[in-house]
Amino acid sequence: MTYQSVNPFDNKLVKSFAEITDQQLEQKLVTATACFAQWKQTSFAHRAKIISRAAVLLGEQAEHFAQIMTMEMGKRISEARGEVAFSAQILAYYAEHAERFLAPVKLHPTAGEAHMESSPIGVIFGVEPWNFPYYQLARVAGPHLMAGNTLVIKHAGCVPQCAIAFEKLFLDAGAPEGLYTNLLISHDQSDQVIADPRINGVALTGSVAAGRSLAARAGRNLKPSSMELGGSDAFIVLEDADLDHTVKWAVWGRMYNDGQTCCAAKRFIVVDQIADAFLAKFQAALGALKAGDPKDETTTLGPLSTESALVDLLRQVDTAVSHGARIVMGGKRIDRPGAFMHPTILSEVAPGNPAFRDEFFGPVAMFFRVKDENEAIALANDSDFGLGGSVFTRDTARGKRVASRIDTGMMFINNISWSDAELPFGGIKDSGYGRELGDMGIQEFVNKKLVRTLVAEAPV
């Protein structure tokens, strides 16, 4: 069974859901296509009324949505509530600003008049991950529905109740049938959807392997796509950093969502002058985290999303150690029911070690010593990924100079505040392409049409 709610706190099966049939899938695509024909003609004000209502309902029912998330993928309840609130903010943000973002842009040709206008392109297929079950949905739904497109979404198999709840949210908000459609489909059916001529764009957040596969299939069918993939973000600590401030961000940056975040801090690159002090404080702070029920607000360490995620992560650590890495702390599962792992620090990860290139999607940090700023920058850039990164220094101007030299889509100075509704999110290299959120996020799946007026004789 592909779609199952299994509580990672105790690994008990809660509920299973059957995949839809090919006939049911066909009917959903017919409905989404028919909805687009009407929705694209509606005003921004009409669209905003529905999307704003969805944001309000999400806020009013925040506890209900948060509890489902915590049960299905183990997110600590305080973080789950925060994600629901942020998802509501994203929907409200695009309801308010979409018309301005997509307003015609006047151009200035040498002769005549011209402008660019934006219009929706059709039904967009989204494939979304489990680690942020609502936020990932909100950041495609908010912009692309407000742009006039309709959405069909394949969510991750371990969060089916989150997926169903989010679809119901739009129906409760007054959305027409077919505006936002959840698809409980197989991978083979997913391939069929991408190839279907009624699908006009593909948006994925997922692994590098999934990105390569879906982007290739979208390309073969000449469909635009956006890919938000993995990351192995550098956390650079220069010798003049405020150590207490830095360590607090280091713990949050590595352990938020139990480390299951694409843009989490994963490679801690510390100038040698301050490395011992940083490592001692970092290790002590991670060691103080206490595993427990993610529904208990006093719990500071939740489970991973699934048992298989835990097993895969432990295998990665064992491979790293077999290739010469040293375990500073952790490295094992916690001896208790559920998918729990000790916070882990690996050091002495050499370039030939598979871990040097890998992404650890969980509570595993890699620690590197460097002699100076230039060596830190070189190591940060020696990665197949290019999503985000951060630099910590008391000299903000220095931080900006370092940030400009790092090859990523995002950099943060003395913080790791990854997402705001108004700021673009995305990466380069194996971290994908395209941007979500902000003004840029709504531009991914719209037609940019040039309209020119010119009074002149036709050329002979």
Give yes or no for a contact between 310 and 341, defined as CB atoms under 8 angstroms apart: yes
Which tens digit of pLDDT belongs to each residue from 150-192?
999 999 999 999 999 999 999 999 999 999 999 999 999 999 9
311: left (phi over 0), alpha (psi -120 to 50) or beta: alpha
Q: What is the pLDDT of residue 1?
A: 58
Whole-angstrom distance, CA of residue 229 vs CA of residue 437: 15
Give yes or no for a contact between 238 and 398, defined as CB atoms under 8 angstroms apart: yes
Whole-angstrom distance, CA of residue 314 vs CA of residue 331: 7
CA 196, chain centre distance (Å): 26
184: left (phi over 0), alpha (psi -120 to 50) or beta: beta
Place of tokens 């879906």: 214
Q: Measured between alpha carbons, how far is residue 224 from residues 199, 437, 439 in Å?
A: 10, 17, 18
Whole-angstrom distance, CA of residue 252 vs CA of residue 275: 19
Pick the catalytic residue: 262, 359, 436, 444? 262
pLDDT at 127 over 70: yes
pLDDT at 300 over 90: yes
Q: What is the pLDDT of residue 460?
A: 73
Q: Measured between alpha carbons, how far is residue 3 from residues 23, 77, 245 in Å?
A: 19, 22, 42
Q: What is the pLDDT of residue 141?
A: 98
3-229+431-451 sits in which CATH class? alpha beta
- Start-end of H helices in 256-359: 272-287, 307-322, 354-357
> What is the average per-residue pLDDT within 326-352?
98
Q: Residue 322, CB half-sphere, CA atoms under 13 Å: how many?
A: 7
Which tens digit of pLDDT belongs to each residue from 40-82?
999 999 999 999 999 999 999 999 999 999 999 999 999 999 9
How much of the chain, in percent, has pLDDT values that exceed 90?
A: 98
Topology classification of domain 233-413: Aldehyde Dehydrogenase; Chain A, domain 2 (3.40.309)
Give yes or no for a contact between 389 and 234, defined as CB atoms under 8 angstroms apart: yes
Closest by Cα among 407, 360, 418 to 380: 407
Which tens digit of pLDDT belongs to each residue from 415-441?
998 889 999 999 999 999 999 999 999
Whole-angstrom distance, CA of residue 1 vs CA of residue 10: 19
CA 47, chain centre distance (Å): 25
Rg of the chain taking only CA atoms, in angstroms:
23
pLDDT at 459 over 90: no
Pick the catalytic residue: 72, 83, 167, 228? 228
Q: What is the pLDDT of residue 360?
A: 98
Q: Measured between alpha carbons, how far is residue 127 from residues 35, 41, 54, 207, 417 in Å?
A: 20, 26, 21, 11, 25
| Tokens standing for residue 88 | 């509501």
pLDDT at 247 over 70: yes
Give yes or no for a contact between 196 and 399, defined as CB atoms under 8 angstroms apart: no
Mean pLDDT (the chain) is: 97
Verify whether residue 262 is a known catalytic residue.
Answer: yes
Give yes or no for a contact between 123 and 152, defined as CB atoms under 8 angstroms apart: yes
CA 102, chain centre distance (Å): 24
Which pTM was predicted?
Answer: 0.97
pLDDT at 457 over 80: no
Verify whether residue 60 is a known catalytic residue.
Answer: no
Q: What is the pLDDT of residue 418?
A: 84
Could you tell me which residues come within 8 angstroms of residue 133 by beta carbon, excluding any fewer than 6 positions away? Answer: 69, 72, 73, 83, 155, 156, 159, 162, 163, 166
DSSP track, 311-328: HHHHHHHHHHHHTT-EEE
Which tens digit of pLDDT belongs to each residue from 304-313?
999 999 999 9
Could you state, in order of their start, the residue ranges of all structural domains in the chain?
Answer: 3-229+431-451, 233-413
Query: 3-229+431-451 and 233-413 share one CATH topology?
Result: no
Q: Residue 256, CB half-sphere, CA atoms under 13 Å: how many?
A: 19
Confidence of residue 347 (pLDDT cuts 50, 70, 90): very high
